[in-house]
Amino acid sequence: MVKMNPSSLGKPRRKGSTQRTNLSIATWEGVPAIILQTLLGGPFLTGFLLYLGAGSRHIGFVLAITTFVNIAQIGAAYWMQRIRSRKRALLLFVGGHRILWSATGLIPFIFPKEWWVSVFIGLYTVAFICNTIGGMIWTSLIGDIVPAKVRGRYFGIRNTILNALGSVCLFGGGILLDRYPGETGFLILFIPVWICAIANTVIYFFYPDLPFERSTEKSFSRMFIKPFQDRVFLKATIFLAAWLLIQTLIVPLYSYVMLDLLKVSYQMVSLITVVQTLVMMGGFYIWGNLNARYSNKTLLFWTLPVIALSCLSWGLMSFAPVLVALFLSHIFLGIGVGGFNQLAFNFTIGDTPKSERPMFIAVYSALTGVTSFIGPLIGGWLYEKMETLSEAMVWISTYGFQVTVGAVMLLLTFTLGRRILLK
């Protein structure tokens, strides 16, 4: 029998042990979240919208709305200064997002067919308004939970684990929809989604409710202007917003081009996305370790040419098999976008003053959100126009547009990007 030291009874848990417990909760919370996001996003979101009767313009709008609603974070950052509990607010908004987004699976069983796309857009928009507010609260809270010295490595490992699970869900979902196309397949797909929506919300009850360091400013105007007075932060944010405008002209519509224009099967699209996710997993770990040696902005810069190469790779279709081009493009995308998202997140929570962090996050999210909203809308509209081209000009929509945008991205990277992010 192990003897217990009576003097240790009643003592508070050590800080190191508490930190490990909180990090473990944050990791486990991501498990149902990644399953839900995988089965409701990416190629499955595009496929579900096509099933509901959406066209390229509808798909572009839906893909864009998730970033446009980030404007709400500006008001939420000011409101956060007045809440007593970040944890309760997190539960309210994140729970609302999970429930509303998963509820879109009920649309074909409740509403007339002519309403399907409109009802989906309405539910999806409200869900992501909740998500953008909840996401800002989560970013603020997780920035306090994860110690700065292990932040890059922790998120690298966390993202690797979660994306490994996501890749399994991608592959399984693709096989399912190929075997059971249409209503039956999507019904089966939404069953684990509904389970995970509930489980994810429940796990948030175990998050710690840490003290919140509030802004030193009391008025909204003085709080709002703080990020605009930080020239280094502002220049980097404006550049990244411009970059995302160009990137989102085509990257969010990759699945649309594969499924609708190239007629690639769900299973093959899922396999391509699984390969992207596996590469992204390795990238998370590598970018995370590099982040311990190099600054967020320096590493952000080096993700940009990789993303540009993803777009340029579509040009291989002019002389190589289509699948070779698609796999190579998504390998570059996994390395680049995975690193970009992770490092942009670390930039907003690591290169900003702690007391003003919510407003800095809000301004970054709003500026990049507006451009990421406009990008897919323009991209969807352009693809709609390209559908009227003759068969001899079909190469423009299948790979010509992507190559052109990739070339512009590469030029922007080594001109403005180099001056702003490597300075």
pTM above 0.75, yes or no: no
Say whether pLDDT at 15 is over 60. Answer: no
Q: What is the pLDDT of residue 8?
A: 43
Say whether pLDDT at 24 is over 80. Answer: yes
Q: Which of 48, 129, 60, 125 is nearest to 92 (CA)?
A: 129
DSSP assignments along 218-238, one per residue: -SHHHHHHHHHH-HHHHHHHH
CB 313 within 8 A of CB 328: yes
For 208-219, how does the pLDDT look when each residue is reduced to its tens digit (9 = 90+)?
888 777 677 677
For 173-185, how does the pLDDT look when each residue is reduced to its tens digit (9 = 90+)?
888 887 887 778 8
The mean pLDDT of 73-101, rounded to a whole number, is 86
Structure tokens at 251: 């990257």
Q: Which of 329, 312, 323 is nearest to 264 (CA)?
A: 323
The Cα–Cα gap between 423 and 417 comes to 10
The Cα–Cα gap between 421 and 296 comes to 9
